[in-house]
């Protein structure tokens, strides 16, 4: 497994860098959307400010999720080197990590699809919190085991793509209405 991770490590780092660029592009477009909404809403009232804050959260969350995913992906790429540098951590916590893994593995075949997803989210969350508590250096890798986080990452990627189409539309509306 470590040999495989060592071979795909450079590709994972490149993917993480591309995702960070995509996230920063999404953040820039989210800022543009908020600025354009501010221009469209002038003069601003208190309720307008509240709507702008909610709009900023609605368009900005995707960049945060993608940066977090890129950080986790980089941690996965760095895992073989971290294991080589930290044999004492693994020898100290190896039994506990194996126990956490076996405890979270579950019985996927005995559940309905929804039950399997719900159980996977629960077990993935337990794995992340158990590992983060015991081995903080390993916490970023653990987040990759959470299906809800992976689903949010896919949605965030497409959300940013949608933002790229919304900004020109808002610019057109602003120009035509002013």
Summarize pLDDT for 21-36 with one digit per residue, the tens: 999 999 998 898 888 8
The DSSP line for 94-150 is: HHHHHHHHHHHH--GGGS-HHHHHHHHHHHHHHHHHHHHHH-GGGHHHHGGG-HHHH
Residues with Cβ within 8 Å of residue 16, at least 6 apart in sequence: 70, 71, 73, 74, 77
Q: How far apart are CA 95 and CA 91, in angstroms?
A: 8
131-163 per-residue burial string, b: 16 or more CB within 10 A, e: under 16:
bbeebeebbbbbbbbbbebeebbeebbebbeeb
Q: Is cis: bond before 69, omega within 30 of 0?
A: no
Q: CA nearest 174: which of 39, 67, 17, 30?
A: 39
Contact assessment for residue 160 and residue 66, using Cβ atoms and an 8 Å cutoff:
yes
Q: What's this model's pTM, rounded to 2 decimal places?
A: 0.71
Summarize pLDDT for 83-102 with one digit per residue, the tens: 777 767 666 666 666 665 56
User: Residue 103 pLDDT more than 80?
Assistant: no
């Amino acid at each position: 497994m470590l040999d495989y991770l060592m071979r795909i490590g450079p590709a994972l780092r490149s993917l993480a860098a591309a995702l960070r660029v995509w996230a920063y592009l999404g953040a820039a477009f989210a800022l543009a959307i908020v600025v354009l909404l501010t221009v469209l809403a002038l003069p601003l009232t208190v309720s307008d400010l509240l709507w702008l804050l909610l709009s900023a959260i609605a368009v900005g969350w995707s960049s945060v999720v993608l940066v977090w995913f890129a950080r986790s992906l980089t941690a996965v790429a760095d895992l073989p080197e971290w294991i080589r540098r930290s044999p004492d951590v693994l020898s100290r916590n190896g039994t506990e990590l194996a126990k956490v893994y076996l405890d979270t593995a579950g019985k996927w075949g005995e559940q309905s699809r929804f039950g399997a997803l719900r159980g996977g989210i629960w077990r993935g969350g337990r794995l992340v919190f158990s590992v983060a508590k015991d081995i903080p250096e390993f916490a970023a890798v653990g987040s990759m085991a959470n299906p809800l986080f992976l689903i949010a990452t896919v949605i965030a990627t497409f959300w940013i793509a949608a933002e790229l189409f919304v900004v020109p539309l808002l610019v057109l509306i602003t120009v035509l209405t002013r």
